[in-house]
């Protein structure tokens, strides 16, 4: 059985995986869903202001240390692709699998800001206008979302290359929001890289909510692309 560490994307906490966790646990796996520093309801202003990408990578590594984890699977959604890459680079060979769930896959020296598109750079800049150190959540969406530390979007990731030695590296492309997605070119690049396995899901960006059964099945493994698409259609029939 696998041990999954699920890392949420921007503005979100562990609750973003609430529909996926029981499906993985029911299959016998151990699951840890995290909330990163600055996104917890009781984090004060200075804690939020000081949080950056290093803080979030260290959150994951400390969690591995605290639970004495080896052979873990790190799953990062969206912004958290930056986090799991940095954490895996620092984890000393304790990561067996990386799953970038419609998420950034950075090279050394890149940031979320430099890796995204103009749509999201404008969203980040506009969202930071209130405090100057947090980015408010975009309109609509789950009311549990919280302002996200701006520094984590701007800080450049520091990678030694150790993360590239993780035995399994996977990218999940959510194809149902083609217009604003910043991941189309990344999907094409990784699809041509023999070091990566690429999966496609016909969902919007928040696949964990739209099709938790398909996400869980993909994480557990063994399903074909057709089977994954069937799971999505079962939840969202035409």
Q: Is 78 a catalytic residue?
A: yes
Tally of CA atoms within 13 A in the half-sphere of 69 that contains its CB: 25
What value, to the nearest 5°, has the Cα angle with vertex 35 and ends 39 and 84? Answer: 110
Structure tokens at 26: 């029911």
Out of 14, 16, 78, 115, the active site residue is 78
Torsion angle defined by CA atoms of residues 175, 180, 185 and 186, in that order, rounded to the nearest 10 degrees = -70
DSSP-based three-state secondary structure for 6 = strand
Q: Which residues contact 92 (CB under 8 A, 6 or more apart)?
A: 162
DSSP-based three-state secondary structure for 102 = coil
Q: How far apart are the C-alpha atoms of 120 and 137, rounded to whole Å?
A: 12
| Cα diameter, the chain | 48
Name which of 4, 16, 47 is nearest 144 in CA terms: 16
Going by DSSP bridges, is the β-strand pair 148-149/134-135 parallel, antiparallel, or unpaired?
antiparallel
DSSP 132: S
Structure tokens at 72: 């873990």
Catalytic residue ranges: 78
């Amino acid at each position: 059985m696998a041990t999954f560490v699920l890392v949420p994307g921007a503005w979100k906490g562990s609750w973003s995986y609430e529909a996926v966790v029981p499906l993985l646990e029911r299959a016998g796996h151990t699951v840890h869903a995290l909330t990163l520093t600055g996104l917890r309801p009781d984090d004060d202003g200075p804690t939020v202001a000081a949080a950056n990408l290093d803080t979030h990578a260290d959150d994951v590594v400390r969690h591995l240390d605290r639970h004495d984890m080896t052979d873990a699977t790190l799953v990062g959604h969206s912004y958290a692709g930056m986090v799991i890459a940095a954490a895996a680079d620092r984890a000393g060979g304790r990561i067996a699998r990386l799953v970038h769930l419609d998420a950034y896959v950075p090279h050394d020296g890149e940031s979320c800001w430099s890796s995204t598109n103009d749509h999201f750079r404008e969203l980040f800049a506009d969202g930071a206008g209130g405090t100057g150190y947090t980015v408010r959540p975009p309109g609509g969406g789950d009311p549990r979302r919280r302002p996200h530390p701006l520094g984590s979007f701007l800080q450049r990731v520091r990678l030694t290359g150790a993360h590239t030695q993780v035995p399994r590296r996977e990218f999940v492309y959510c194809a149902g929001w083609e217009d604003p997605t910043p991941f189309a070119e990344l999907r094409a690049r990784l699809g041509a890289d023999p070091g990566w396995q690429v999966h496609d899901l016909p969902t919007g960006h928040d696949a964990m909510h739209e099709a938790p059964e398909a996400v869980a099945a993909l994480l557990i493994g063994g399903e074909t692309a057709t089977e994954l698409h069937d799971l999505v259609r079962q939840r969202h029939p035409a």
